[in-house]
Amino acid sequence: MSKKTIKKLFRKDNYVAEVEVSLIETDHEWAPYYSIADVRKMEAVEKALEEGDLKTVTKLAHLYTLEPVAAE
């Protein structure tokens, strides 16, 4: 079994949350997969973004704002 740290992105309106989670790789047929704790963390971030609870998001993830760029 090996673990690989990856970053998952969640977007809502002009916010993007970057969550670090571990991807578990094994010989199991369902591999690779996330731990239950990481799944709950991603669900909490997604729910907090939907509700506009940015304080909770910043406790669990890196939070960024997006702004449009005018390409000329």
Tell me the pLDDT band of 32, cut-offs 50, 70 and 90: very high
Which tokens sit at 20?
Answer: 């670090």
pLDDT of 24 strictly over 90? yes
Domain ranges of the chain: 2-65
> 64 with 11: CB under 8 angstroms?
no
Q: How many angstroms separate the CA atoms of 1 and 30, rounded? A: 13
Q: What pLDDT, in 10s, does the model give residues 48-64?
A: 999 999 999 999 999 99
Q: From residue 36, give the alpha-carbon distance in Å to each of 22, 26, 59.
A: 11, 16, 18
Q: What is the pTM of this model?
A: 0.86
